[in-house]
Structure 1
């Protein structure tokens, strides 16, 4: 099936999955409405035809297996659990973390999550090789504030292991009511020991656009998710900055896990020359359909800030600005999510749903960034303390010991401007002196050892340092690039 231009845009979206999962999704394949008012009708005929690929022998084999389990297995089995398990097994055989089955409860949560605000930790996750992996913590979310990073592996939640669960099962354990705690055990590249992170669940802010005017006529708009109202809010904030005499713009999509594709197009289109593609969609037969700009009117320079947590729709924005507008990307290589999913709730017929990868999306120049991401034009790493792990608080850190916690302590102390002689995890005398200095200036008992109170104060201090714009090396580089383009000296 090949869809034309704007028709594609209307129904491809990054769907919010409970408290976590965002994937590029076509929500209603049987009713596709164009962004310009047209409509295309499709049917489930293709699905029925696919089902005919099962021979009588195949069906008999499945029925025999079900009968053996139902009649011979040691314990009594639940019919629905068996059927759901069979469907999950079939989809998991595809090896695609973004193709999943949702039972009735999970499907209802899915529908709720893509149409309204939700409560949870505010992070996108996927399942890769049986492991629950963080794609990105949403900027400003409890997950980000607690120190979760892209590519962290979540081992357990409140003591319940997640290995082997489907993404929906994992998400149901991660999400929860506002104010409750999710105690996560995570594994992080470069850190030997598991890390414990406590995240207090909250309402995930429906406000997704934040704007400010910086020096030299440089405006900055931060997009945290691409939700239904984001394009409108972006246009409002952009107009406000232009009214203040903005000469150049920074768009910040760092740690933005995505959102609605039509919203991305609406945001980017005013900057893309008429006739140039904004994004392309390709089906299983290699047939591509571009969505072309109807004509951009914005001609001032734009720089886009990206990092490892910029995923899917954020990458569509970054790719469009890089290739169709000629803007510079500043920061880190993006996550690398280049597939499109379709939901089949109507076809399932009982309130359950299947979300299946059916298309891939490509940049204006036809590049598929899946599992590769988009490289920045100006690569800038944040200071080491931006990625430091929270300190474990089960035991007091003392001199003459070695651990990952001590290494993280030293990185924090160094980030706060306190003199340390090493960051290799050995608790030296110089490290103890730095701890005493910190304790003295923060009204803590001066012991040179790090107990739970000192650890908490250190973490608060380093979070405040991270939030200080003066610490943001990537933002500084973006400003410098715009100053160069504007001829500011």
Structure 2
């Protein structure tokens, strides 16, 4: 097999956050097929006549002998899902006609939903990242949260696409989620109000000291142009250093990543590499010139796929420093086979790996930050369950989360082990006083809601973003050299 260099990139995309699964996907597989002598695609079929007869006989028995009538399409779809499930690869999925249509729309248009990328980890529907500014982020969903149910319907036994169909919904409707968060014992109940998901992907600002910051929330069809425009605007203003923020960015179009990265990488240096099942590797090399100012990239565990390609490319080929947390770890490439299915359904199958310029496969490992920085504890605190009023002398996970919130608000409870002490009650009273709430020292639903709103405001305040502060310090150090 041979690759066609930059031609390949025109057909590779990382499925955007709206899709059911975060993947690096090739939407025109024919150019990657094994070439024959005449350059035509050669496809090997491993099914013998005996195999086909066995499958056909099984269906015939179901149709004619099973106790009740069956839905033919449901049985056939089940057979396909069964075959793919034996591969034990969460990124290889079958989509029926409705799911395939949803997938196509997610690549080319906006949608309504909660605004979170999810994947299937060991059969569990898991948040990869909530999109910044989305209902999911505002409600307090975090990367690695596992969704158990939606509006009372369990997600066990569903394909990832089927689960997504339940999570998404019309603007203004509620998705009542039951989630499990790493480090917590009991499930958390959360209500997310679905909305239109913002299609704007690039946000830029000039910070003090002529340090520019460009935040990329996803990689869509207009992201590269928006990035170039904002970059040119910052450079025209005299920017001396740049921070690119891809935290909680779950991915998007690879073509956008290449366009964004290329100006920062000197000509001839690799941006990304692709490896096939035979171990053959093809690099996509830059045609850029590089920049004369330092660039730092902000990443966290919600930075996935396209974000990791950007971070790896700038780190390996442009010498950029990475600040924050180890990224998600998604390093495989999928091919879609909609034309081959012939009825509007689609199969998305893992076929390749992608590697960083240095040849590292980051799958399930992520990219480690050069300068590891954890955000304050309250950035990752779980919402309070609100099942009952929290009172002194109680001891629970809820109280522990309460104490983390109070500390984040500067109200200094004396402990953080989950025991509701007298000092914790005094801190609660101090908060209630600032909110004009009844001063009880107990945490009812209203006090809990006010606490969560207050801590979200603290999280959104740039002055509390220690990762950003570390990135600024790194840029200043490089600028001073």
**TM-score bucket of the superposed structures, by smaller chain:** over 0.9
Match of 1:15 in 2: 15
Which residue does the alignment assign to 1:442?
A: 435
Task: Quote the Cα distance in structure 1 between the aligned partners of 2:465 and 2:18.
Answer: 31
State the partner residue of 1:142.
Answer: 135
Q: Partner of 2:176 in structure 1?
A: 183
Name the CA distance, whole Å, in 2 between partners of 1:365 and 1:177. 44
Residue deviations 1:421-444, cap 9 Å, x none?
111111111111100110011110
Equivalent residue for 2:478?
485
**Do the aligned partners of residues 94 and 187 (structure 1) sit closer, same or farther apart at CA in structure 2, a change above 3 Å counting?**
same
- Hey, what does 2:383 align to over in structure 1? 390
Is 1:201 matched with 2:194? yes
Rounded to whole Å, the distance in 1 between the matches of 2:442 and 2:233 is 51
2:454 matched residue in structure 1: 461
Task: Say which SS state the counterpart of residue 134 (structure 1) adopts.
Answer: strand
Q: Which residue of 1 aligns with 2:155?
A: 162
For 1:190 and 1:125, locate their aligned partners in 2 and report how far apart those are by CA, in whole Å.
Answer: 19
Among 242, 249, 265, the alignment partner of 1:256 is 249
C-alpha deviation, 1:412, in angstroms: 0.2
Contact kept? 1:444, 1:454, Cα under 8 Å: yes
**Residue pair 2:16, 2:250 contacting (<8 A) in 1 also:** no
| Residues 1:18 and 1:253: Cα distance change in structure 2 (over 3 Å) | closer
Aligned to 2:231: 238
Q: Deviations over 1:89-124 (max 9, x none)?
A: 111111111110000111111111111111111111
**Counterpart for residue 359 of structure 2:** 366
2:82 paired residue number: 89
Q: Distance in 2 between matches of 1:46 and 1:405?
A: 64
Structure 1 residue 14 displacement after superposition: 1.2
Q: Does the CA-based 8 Å contact 1:418-1:434 persist in structure 2?
A: yes
Per-residue deviation, 1:17: 6.5
- The alignment partner of 2:29 has SS state of coil
Quote the Cα distance in structure 2 between the aligned partners of 1:19 and 1:413.
37
Shift of 1:360: 0.7
SS at match of 1:357: strand
1:432 lines up with 2:425 in the alignment: yes
In the TM superposition, residue 151 of structure 1 has moved relative to its aligned partner by 1.3
Q: Distance in 2 between matches of 1:333 and 1:222?
A: 18
Q: Is the contact between residue 16 and residue 220 of structure 2 (CA under 8 Å) also seen in structure 1?
A: no
Give me the whole-angstrom Cα distance separating, in 2, the residues matched to 1:70 and 1:424: 59
Determine if contact 1:307/1:331 at 8 Å carries over to the other structure: yes
Which one of the candidate residues 193, 196, 215 is aligned to 1:222?
A: 215
Tell me, yes or no, if structure 1 residue 76 matches structure 2 residue 76: no
Instruction: Give the unaligned 5+ runs of structure 1.
Output: 33-39
Q: Distance in 2 between matches of 1:41 and 1:361?
A: 19
Q: Corresponding residue for 2:338?
A: 345
State the 1:41 CA deviation. 11
What do you get for the CA RMSD once the two structures are aligned?
Answer: 1.9
The separation in 2 between residues aligned to 1:90 and 1:348, in whole angstroms, is 15
Distance 2:192 2:265 in 1: 40
Q: For the residues of structure 1 that align with 2:185 and 2:41, how far apart are their CA atoms? A: 50
Distance 1:259 1:211, change over 3 A: same
SS of 2:10's equivalent in the other structure is helix
**Distance of 2:378 and 2:17 partners within structure 1:** 30
Aligned-pair CA distance for 1:68: 2.0
Distance 1:466 1:204 in 2: 21
Q: Secondary structure at the match of 1:21?
A: coil
Q: CA deviation at 1:244?
A: 1.1
Question: Is residue 16–residue 110 contact of structure 1 (8 Å, CA) maintained in 2?
Answer: no
Q: How far, CA to CA, are the matches of 1:345 and 1:46 in structure 2?
A: 22
CA contact (8 A) 1:380 1:477 kept: yes
Deviates more, 1:222-231 or 1:70-79: 70-79
**2: CA distance, partners of 1:109 / 1:17:** 12
Structure 2 CA distance for partners of 1:322 and 1:11, relative to 1, 3 Å: same
Q: How far did 1:475 drift?
A: 0.2
Paired position in structure 2 for 1:403 = 396
In structure 2, runs of 5+ residues without a counterpart are none
1:287 to 280, 284, 289: 280
Shift of the alpha carbon at 1:28?
A: 2.1
| Alignment partners' CA distance in 1, 2:116 and 2:408 | 26
